[in-house]
Amino acid sequence: MSTDPRTPDTGERGAEVQAMFSEVRPTAPGSLFERWTGLLLILAVGVSALIGAVFIFSDIDRQLEANRVAHLDNRTWVLAQFEVDVLNFVSAVQLAAYRSGDPSRLEAVRQKFDILYSRVEIVRGSEPGTIDVLEADVLPIFSGPDGFFARWIPVIDGPNAQLRDALPQLIVDLEAVSGIVRSGVVESLADVMQISDERRSVLRSSLQTFALASLGLLALMGVLIVIVIVQSNARRRRGVLLERSVHNLRATIESSLDAVVVLDHMGRVVECNRAALDMFRWSAEAAQGANFVEYIRTDDADSLLRPQPRAEDEPDPGLSGRDGRITMMAQRTDGTTFPVEVSVAEAQGASQDPFFIAFIRDISERLEREESLKKARNDALKGEEAKSRFLAVMSHEMRTPLNGLMAASDLLQSSTDLTERQRWLTDIVIGCGSAALDQVNNVLELTRLSDRDGASYARSVFSPAEVIEGLIRQNQPQADKRGNKLWFAPPKGEVPLILAQRHLFLRVMYNLIGNAIKFTDHGKVSVELLWRAGTRPGTLDLCIHVNDTGIGIAEEHLDTIFRNFETLDSSYGRIREGTGLGLGIAKLASETMGGAITVQSKLGLGSVFTLRVTVPLAEASDLSAEEFADEAPPADDVRRSILVVEDNAINRQLLAEILRMAGHEVTLAEDGAEAIEAAAVRRFDLILMDVSMPRVDGLEATRMIRQGGPCATTPIVGATAHADPDRVPEFLGAGMNDVLVKPITRSALFRAVRQFAGCGQAAEETEAATPEPAPAEGLPLIDSELRADLEGNLGPDYIAGMINRVLTEAGAALPEMRRLHEAGDHHAAARLAHRTAGAAAAVGLVALHRTLSGYETAADASDSDAAGRALESLPVTIERTAAAIQPDAA
């Protein structure tokens, strides 16, 4: 027995609960009816059998009584004696007539007459129905006013002389009567015998029936005894099972981790388990009779314990649930509240009053886990957003100097007579710049491929054979450096043009060919293109093998080479440089296209990478006159007038020099406002427009130029350092014909000039929706993961200095932003916020970046109220951010 003082008493309350639970599953109405019907039927059969037995016994008793009287009466003897008495009277009369002088003979006649008279009276008093013949034929002869006795009594009682004289006539009358008497007696004896036989037969049948009935009663009593025994055993077993069930139920409830509370129809606690005592911090005495409604916090607490109405003809559902699981707040005895999940079941008690069983679960930990999961999810989403933002910003910050570096070096080599050493140094600069650009492109490409599907990439018409041939020419110098023979095995027959994602196809083949060259020295690298008509109409199955005779791959490493940042040789002395992204990007790009890459390799013998993909064939309507520009413009290019709009002086001058060296006329503009003015004066063949600029940005300038003027139909090619493809539709919607991503190479620039200069076709302008600025409340001040990553790559001191510099610039820009905002110059204030927002995002100042971006968005949309709120929160955000980094800075 438990010694816990909180354990509720199992005495009277236990018995009450057991009585309640014993009625939780009442007998169904059908079962009750059948049981009472059986009992009534047995009772009816017993009563009927008893009545039948009494009736049979009474009949037998009656017949026995009847037979007993007949035996005493001895009707047969009486009838026979009747005839004897008649014959004795006849004999006495004849003897008296023969001795007529003897008076004693006359007295003998009188005596025999009296005996006959008495015998007739006895016969007449016999049981009716037994002497029907005598009564009908014989007795009337003696009785009646004209009967024998009526005529002869006076003579018999008269004088002797009179009697003696009448003897002859008396003899005559007796002779006539005696014959009738004899025949009547004989017939009556036969009837008596027959009646006796019939009565004995009936008595025998009655006795047999009584015996059978007695046997039936005995059998019925035996059956009833068996039924009683069976029912008694069944009731005993049910009692044991019920007791065991109640015990098991109580044990289950007591051991339940959830609180279980049994309540009466008034909502008072009748019984509860240990979990309920611990949950509400009750003692066993305090729990008994406590009003449960006082411990739950819900607006509809009373209805929770209100009996459910049922129609009169609706059957009792037994134990029934109420509204499923309900979430609410509960209160402990010490006043503390906690969230619970409650399920209430209603049942009928032994007293026909409803009672309730409440199952209560404390969901505090579950809600905390859900909140933690939500927070982790939000943090993951914020981290992903921070990663994308950082990559986009850093791509801008890295591509812009790379653009200047590579363009200047390219221009230096093509326009200046350099010494051998100077050309060697510029080659190093160009090579390092290309390598850095490749790494930036790889990381950004990996991010884009991981976050997007194939439908996000534009499809264009191209020849896969021509793309591969171009890559072969592009990679030939690298192959020559390693002493490799690189060639393309042309396919049999002309490969049809396809309509696919050229960018993805180019990425796959570029990485596969480059990877083969990188791991092959003084060997062979070949590319083989096979094609056939696809199984679906209008498709083409491509199979491209990239073979090399390089170092090969061990079989145990074949599953790891496509992992990102995976290099088979990770030691400091490795002889192959690389980040391990090439094959991972190739695999993601091929899967985005709907294809797959497989590899076969032997260590020391080489490898074969195979791309299999099914692509749509290009239709006639998809064909275009797209051409691929060379690294330098052809000699017969027409001189074009080009407007270059770029806010960065270095990039502006480099683009101008490249275009002027190609023979084009170049006009420069520092921002969108100057571009609008220049476009309003004269017509240009092409406008190269930077997207992000002070005063008027490239999108606004494009919209203004498209509204009218000499350059309303002039092709406009945008230039941006933000490598986010999701914004390209916005740029095109503003009226741009195409967008180039910095750094802009000479080939990309010449391709744009060749494709658009002189076409005079502008893209249709569509107005982009103004995004709703996101609030900074609730955001972390600093992206800890991003900051840790930056510190790991650039050093804590450097990042701390950058953060302080950004905060200083933000604090210095705040008064000017207020002045511009109060003056109503929202666009100028937005440009000022834009410069600081980009730097804040790059170093992970999340709240500051969001506040500045929110102000910029609201200011660009001329939403003074939203911009004012963002501006008011900016000083607080700067102070909180500075306070948050102060311990680290110290």
CA atoms within 13 A on the CB side of 315: 11
Rounded distance, CA 480 to CA 477, Å? 5
Q: Which of 109-118, 570-579, 695-704, 811-820 has the lowest mean pLDDT?
A: 570-579
Q: Which CATH superfamily is domain 256-306+319-362 in?
A: PAS domain (3.30.450.20)
* 637: confidence class by pLDDT, cuts 50, 70, 90: very low
CATH architecture of 784-889: Up-down Bundle (1.20)
Check residue 611 and give its pLDDT.
92
- Tokens describing residue 98: 């023969």
Which tens digits make up the pLDDT trace of 44-78? 777 777 787 777 777 777 766 666 544 445 667 77
Check residue 853 and give its pLDDT.
76
- Tokens describing residue 648: 């960065």
Instruction: Summarize the confidence of residues 635-646 as an average pLDDT.
Output: 76
pLDDT at 153 over 90: no
Q: Which of 116-125, 222-231, 515-524 has the lowest mean pLDDT?
A: 116-125
Helix (H, G, I), strand (E, B) or coil at 329: strand
Could you identify the residue written with the tokens 């005995």?
Answer: 218
Contact 162, 105 (CB under 8 A): no
Check residue 886 and give its pLDDT.
60
Please give the single-letter amino acid code of residue 164.
Answer: R
Rounded distance, CA 108 to CA 97, Å? 12
pTM for this one?
A: 0.37
Please give the single-letter amino acid code of residue 298.
Answer: T
CA 311, distance to chain mean position in Å, is 34
Q: Give helix then strand counts, H and E, for the chain.
A: 26, 18
CATH of 452-622, one of 3.30.565.10, 3.40.50.150, 3.40.50.920, 3.30.830.10: 3.30.565.10
Cα distance between the two ends of the chain: 65
Q: Which CATH superfamily is domain 641-756 in?
A: Response regulator (3.40.50.2300)
Please give the single-letter amino acid code of residue 325.
Answer: R
Instruction: Summarize the confidence of residues 151-160 as an average pLDDT.
Output: 82
Tell me which of 327 and 837 has the higher pLDDT: 327
Domain-wise residue ranges, the chain? 11-251, 256-306+319-362, 452-622, 641-756, 784-889
Tell which residue, 743, 558, 521, 549, has the closest CA to residue 646: 743
- Tokens describing residue 197: 């036989």
Tell me which of 191 and 65 has the higher pLDDT: 191
Instruction: Summarize the confidence of residues 243-255 as an average pLDDT.
Output: 81
CA angle at 860 for the pair 857 and 861, rounded to the nearest 5°: 85
Check residue 133 and give its pLDDT.
63
Q: Which of 131-145, 257-271, 693-707 has the lowest mean pLDDT?
A: 131-145
CA angle at 489 for the pair 485 and 495, rounded to the nearest 5°: 145
pLDDT at 454 over 60: no
Most confident of 359-368, 386-395, 814-823: 359-368
Please give the single-letter amino acid code of residue 877.
Answer: T
* 567: confidence class by pLDDT, cuts 50, 70, 90: low
- Tokens describing residue 487: 């060639």
Sheet holding 269-272, edge to edge: 269-272, 259-263, 354-362, 337-348, 320-331, 296-297
Check residue 67 and give its pLDDT.
60
CA atoms within 13 A on the CB side of 523: 18
pLDDT at 729 over 80: no
Tell me which of 69 and 646 has the higher pLDDT: 646
CB under 8 Å to 469, separation ≥6 — which residues? Answer: 488
Phi, psi torsion values for 513, nearest 5 degrees:
-65, -45
Which spans in 628-764 are helix H?
649-661, 672-681, 698-706, 728-733, 746-756
pLDDT-above-70 percentage for the chain: 71
CB under 8 Å to 240, separation ≥6 — which residues? Answer: none
The radius of gyration computed from the CA coordinates of the chain, to the nearest angstrom, equals 63
Check residue 705 and give its pLDDT.
93
Check residue 850 and give its pLDDT.
80
pLDDT at 175 over 70: yes
Peptide bond into 815 cis (omega under 30): no
Rounded distance, CA 404 to CA 436, Å? 13
pLDDT at 736 over 50: yes
pLDDT at 687 over 90: yes
Contact 650, 404 (CB under 8 A): yes
pLDDT-above-90 percentage for the chain: 7
Which tens digits make up the pLDDT trace of 583-630? 877 888 888 888 998 888 888 888 999 999 999 998 765 554 344 434
